[in-house]
Amino acid sequence: METLKKIIAAFGPSGREDAVREVLKEEIKQYVDEIKIDNMGNLICHKKGEGKRLMMAARMDEIGVIVTYIDDKGFVRFAAVGGVSPFNCINRGVRFENGLRGVISYETKNAAKDCGLDKMYIDIGAASREEAEEKVKIGDMAVFEGEFKTMGRRAASKTMDDRIGCYALLAAVKRTEKFGCDFYAVFTTQEELGMRGAKVAAVNVKPDMAIAIDVSGVGDTPESRIVDLKLGAGPSIKIKDGSYIIHPKSREFMFKCAKEAGIDYQVEAASFGGTDTGAIMLTGAGVAAATTSIPCRYIHSPQETVDLDDVENEIKFLKQMIESGIE
Ligand code: CO
């Protein structure tokens, strides 16, 4: 749990994943043969093995905000980094890379529901532009605060999306006894801005097969949107989302390995969203690719909630795929 907390707490909005990468690099280095950081900041960890090349990818970046303007009274205007919902911003805490804290609120002459990010600001406790400019600059990024907590077998925090995927991949590598393939664990950058890191990482790795580890929204809360996925029933094998359709080879491989691992799993066909898989599969001459997701409630809020048994099953699933290798 301490490792997970460390990975989640690390500052890492899209394009500034350095701190997350440092944590993961330290954790994984003794379990792999070679580590590279490419020009996009992807962390590429190679465990040499026989046979075909399997790449697993989890993404390091998180959504956040970026400073666009500071007014005369010291209030900071901002834009989104990734899919930031205005509704989830109001009266939330944010933290800048230098440790500075702030609170997001909105222009109260408008109704809160009518406020887009352009009607919001960050209050950093400054009384003037000069004072604010001593603390932040245009272009600085901040992430949402949301402390890690457990509620029985459930855990909630900011940035489960997708640090829980990073954690699962790391844990699977640590537990793997015999690598059944030439294996790459890749921790990618800038997914929230359109899968930018994964695309470049896959060009470098040239995998025969790639599996992305992500989170997926569920349909198990009151009056929720209809999604056939719930917390506590295992990780998903994702057949499709807005960015890809599973490759037949990956499909066969994943169902086989899920059965061999003896885990609970769910089959998911999402009508929206995208994952690194969508970018990876279109690199080189094409890659057999797929996603497995950890079900998650309240995605892109400071209280992203997962079930720890799902996480454990995901780790077992990944380990099984790494050990069995691909045809
Ligand atoms: Co996301």
Distance, in Å, from the CA atom of 299 to the CA atom of 292, rounded to the nearest integer, reads 16
Q: State the distance from the centre of ligand 1 to the C-alpha of 223, rounded, in angstroms.
A: 22
Contact (Cβ atoms closer than 8 angstroms) between residue 283 and residue 202: yes
Distance, in Å, from the CA atom of 244 to the CA atom of 273, rounded to the nearest integer, reads 10
Distance, in Å, from the CA atom of 213 to the CA atom of 259, rounded to the nearest integer, reads 18
Q: Which residues are catalytic?
A: 191
Below-70 pLDDT ranges, the chain: none
Q: State the distance from the centre of ligand 1 to the C-alpha of 299, rounded, in angstroms.
A: 7
pTM of the predicted structure, to 2 decimals:
0.96
pLDDT, one tens digit per residue, over 139-162 is 999 999 999 999 999 999 999 999
Distance, in Å, from the CA atom of 94 to the CA atom of 203, rounded to the nearest integer, reads 35
pLDDT, one tens digit per residue, over 221-266 is 999 998 999 999 999 999 999 889 999 999 999 999 999 999 999 9
Q: Strand, coil or helix: what is 168?
A: helix
Distance, in Å, from the CA atom of 67 to the CA atom of 135, rounded to the nearest integer, reads 12
Q: State the distance from the centre of ligand 1 to the C-alpha of 57, rounded, in angstroms.
A: 14
Q: State the distance from the centre of ligand 1 to the C-alpha of 162, rounded, in angstroms.
A: 7
Q: Is the peptide bond before 162 cis (omega within 30 degrees of 0)?
A: yes
Q: State the distance from the centre of ligand 1 to the C-alpha of 192, rounded, in angstroms.
A: 6
Contact (Cβ atoms closer than 8 angstroms) between residue 178 and residue 231: no
pLDDT of 248 reads: 95
pLDDT of 152 reads: 97
Q: State the distance from the centre of ligand 1 to the C-alpha of 295, rounded, in angstroms.
A: 13
pLDDT of 258 reads: 98
pLDDT of 194 reads: 82
